[in-house]
Amino acid sequence: MLLPVGTTLAVVLAVLLAAAVAIAAAARLADARGRGWARPVAVAGVRAAVQLAAVSALIGWVVRALPLLLCFVALMYAVAVRTAGRRITGNRTWWWAALPIGAGVLPVLVLLLLTGLVPVDGIALVPVAGILIGGGLTATVLAGRRALDELHTRHGEVEAGLALGLPDRDARLEIARPAASDALLPGLDQTRTVGLVTLPGAFVGMLLGGASPLPAAAVQLFVLVALMAVQVVAVAVVLELVARGRLHRADGDGGGKRPTDGGGRRKRRADGGGGG
């Protein structure tokens, strides 16, 4: 066992979490709205401990029956959708995050089940589904936030595109696409440097479990390629949702929906100057 579970592990984890919180507070790390990250770091660490303890007790029970196993995977998906949607928009449009995550994960998971690479009635389904859903969650959040941030910052360019005759979708798409595409960089860098810079969890876990290096490498390659497929689909779908105004924060951020005229273009409101 790599990490013996006991008092020493608990103390080390507590010290590391406390150090992370203290550094975040001392450095005044905060988001664009000025909300500090110290408290979210502390809450995330505590939640992780509680949730992993609960899941450890639950997994041994749910793998005994296929319906329970599928319900557990559905629960992971629902939590991912809620987390991603709230992180991107913070409003009622959060549920649209179900589309990019589902569009990325479902085809890959079905392919793996149909080909028998992942058994439908075994414990392997839970970690594989978790890895894919987690990858889809990360890509969706990064793409959605970056796209909406870019539309807000470059709102004037969106309006310029509309003035040139571009439809709403195309005007937003031209601005948001490069920013949203950056969400692929973490996964791409991890895949390109695997074995040279990092040894990811699947590879290390199999080695610690007694597997030989070649099968461990094959499993890790499978995970990385599947993750890339999931993330590419998720980014493409979330970009389309942002461009069409389905995922948005508020009117006026460049990503929100506004009244349109008969030709599908936004109506222009008269400015305070009332120019004639």
Q: Is residue 264 part of a domain?
A: no
Beta bridge pairs of residue 194:
198
The label of the residue with tokens 């499978």 reads 222
Contact yes or no for 215/171 (Cβ under 8 A): no
The 10 Å CB-count burial string (b at 16+, else e) for 217-256 is: bebbeebbebbbbbbbbbbbbbbbbbbbbbbbbeeeebbb
**Residue 18: inside a domain:** yes
Closest CA to 244 of 259, 232, 255: 255
Residue 189, C-beta contacts closer than 8 angstroms, at least 6 positions apart: none
Place of tokens 């990064």: 142
Do 127 and 49 share a structural domain? no
pLDDT given for residue 137 in this prediction: 94
How many domains does the structure of the chain reveal?
2
Which stretches of the chain score pLDDT less than 50? 252-276
Per-residue pLDDT, 34? 81
What is the DSSP code string of 197-220?
TB--HHHHHHHHTT--HHHHHHHH
pTM, full prediction: 0.75
In this structure, the answer to whether residues 114 and 187 fall within a common structural domain is: yes
Question: For residue 58, what are the CA distances in angstroms to 52, 54, 61, 63, 71?
Answer: 10, 6, 5, 9, 12
The domain in which residue 28 lies consists of: 1-62
Q: Determine the pLDDT at residue 3.
A: 62
pLDDT for 180-189, tens place per residue?
Answer: 998 998 888 8
**Same-domain status, 32 and 167:** no
User: Distance between CA atoms of 145 and 174, rounded to whole angstroms?
Assistant: 16
